[in-house]
Amino acid sequence: MLNLHRERQAASLSEDSDTDIAVIGGGISGMSAAYSLLTQTDRHVIILERNLLSSGASGHNAGQAVAAFEVPYPKLIRTYGKELTDNTYAAVNNAVSSLKSMAEYASSEIADVEALALFSNLESAKERMKNPGSTCLYVPSDSNEPDAVKLDDFNGQTWSSGYAAATGYHSGIVNCPCLIENLANRLLEDYPDQFEVYEHSPADKISLENDAARIVCNGHIVNSSSVVMCTNGYGGFSLESGSPISLDNKIQPVAGYMIGRLTSPAPAGIRSYVPSNPSEPYYYVTKNFVNSQYVTCAGGLDTKLTSWKDIETWTQDDERKCSMIEAFLLQKLSGFSGPRNYQWKGLMGYTDTGVRLAGKDPNLDSLYYSLGCNGIGILQAVLSADVICKQIDGKAYPRTFFDPLVQNQDSTGYPDAVQLSMPPFRE
């Protein structure tokens, strides 16, 4: 959020309202949903945001747009089958074009980069190459590996030393809070009679019928034909329905940590550093040009929260986690001298399955989900918005394992084994 300048006056819900679709949450999931619905249908849309737009994980991330999941690829295949798993990877990768269109509409920029994941041994890197979307195996010039690209300046390209190999994958870097704010401004300008945004407007109680919903917010009532839950790790609301629903206290709030330092000019890029021991933490680094300044951002550590409200306080443990990230950079990242200029934590949501929950509830036609970033969420949010839009409009949509119909709630589970078994690329 370093270069986010809000010129729009925040408005709070101050009277009863009627709408076709109420979107609960104003992060990348909620704004992507609003964009898809407004540009592809004639529906009226209201966004209800507890705080300000992009105040959660969407405003506290490194902007990495990548088709990746914290659950390892082999485990996803065992759970959902190879066809559905590969289809999901492909659909998330294809969401890049939708993200670019959305960014162009909002006059926002996306940096296209080949990101690198670094490994201390060659075999781990070769195993990672089996993941869909992997582009190339890179090794130092003195390596004997015949099926890899040898880099003369391997340490320079990986921004570190002590690693044996790296795998490439397509990625983008986007400033999420700026994209969200620019989208809100453009959509409000283009759809003045179809779109409303209310901040400091928490949904306290949501009463659901099959074809309608009633939302209590700021002491007022919003009547809606459909509700799209884009709350990620946030709680503080009650859901009432005569039918069982997929979202039933299954979201684990998690704080994700990042630090940032202003640096000398450098090309934009993404690197992740995968530990040889799965019990050790991993770290990711993003370099980008932000608000006429070059910034290095790093993260990877997180903490399970007892309550989502814990994100609102800063503790000694939060400080310790940020110091651990800085210590790693001082040890491993070439040219990093510290100290950090910035530190953040953002609220993420983890599902029981370890993957996103997105699409129509199996038992209620009025309820849709796009939540549970599970640490990785930008492209997944854009895809989920497209799925929901097509479902509401009665059109064919991409089938993924995000669908509440196919998710097996006992398949993985948060957190430590899932979190550390594959280096995630955070939302």
Convert the pLDDT of each residue in 284-309 to its tens digit. Answer: 999 998 767 889 999 999 999 999 99
Q: Whole-angstrom Cα distance, residue 72 to residue 57?
A: 22
pLDDT over 90 at 250, yes or no: no
Phi and psi, residue 45, nearest 5°: -130, 135
Asked if the model's pLDDT at residue 411 lies above 70, the reply is no
Q: What is the mean pLDDT of residues 140-168?
A: 95
Dig out the tokens for 319 from the structure. 């400080």
Sort residue 232 into left (φ over 0), alpha (ψ -120 to 50) or beta: left
Q: Which of 163, 213, 160, 250 is nearest to 46 (CA)?
A: 213
pLDDT at 394: 95
The per-residue pLDDT for 112 is 92
Output the pLDDT for position 415. Answer: 33
Q: Mark out the alpha helices in 315-398 (DSSP H runs).
A: 316-332, 378-392
Q: Which residues contact 326 (CB under 8 A, 6 or more apart)?
A: 259, 298, 338, 339, 340
Confidence at residue 3, expressed as pLDDT on a 0 to 100 scale: 60
Position 2 scores a pLDDT of 52
- Give the homologous superfamily in CATH for domain 113-172+252-348: D-Amino Acid Oxidase, subunit A, domain 2 (3.30.9.10)
What is the residue-averaged pLDDT of the chain?
Answer: 90
- Answer whether residue 351 shows pLDDT above 70: yes
Domain chopping of the chain, boundaries: 113-172+252-348
Give whichever of 119-128, 259-268, 405-414 has the largest mean pLDDT.
Answer: 119-128
Residue 65 to residues 125, 367, 387, Cα–Cα distance (Å): 21, 27, 18
Residue 249 — very low, low, confident or very high, per pLDDT cuts 50/70/90?
low
pLDDT at 88 > cutoff 80: yes
400: enclosing H helix or E strand: none
Number of CB atoms found within 10 A of residue 187's CB:
23
Instruction: For residue range 195-231, list pLDDT tens digits in order.
Output: 999 999 999 999 999 999 999 999 999 999 999 999 9
pLDDT value at residue 343? 94
- Alpha carbon distances (Å) from 414 to 70, 307, 341, 420: 10, 15, 31, 10
Instruction: Measure the CA–CA gap between 419 and 373, rounded to whole angstroms.
Output: 13
- Distances, alpha carbon 352 to alpha carbons 249, 251, 356, 404, in Å: 10, 7, 10, 12
Q: How far apart are the C-alpha atoms of 159 and 130, rounded to whole Å?
A: 24
**Which tens digit of pLDDT belongs to each residue from 308-337?**
999 999 999 999 999 999 999 999 999 998
**When comparing pLDDT for 73 and 411, which is higher?**
73
Q: Identify the pLDDT of residue 265.
A: 84
The pLDDT of residue 120 is 94
Model pTM score: 0.91
Measured CA to CA, the distance from residue 359 to residue 361 in angstroms comes to 7
What angle, rounded to 10 degrees, do the helices at 28-40 and 378-392 form? 40
- CA proximity to 64, closest of 96, 31, 32: 96
pLDDT of residue 276: 83
pLDDT band at 251 (very low <50, low <70, confident <90, very high): confident
pLDDT at 60 over 60: yes
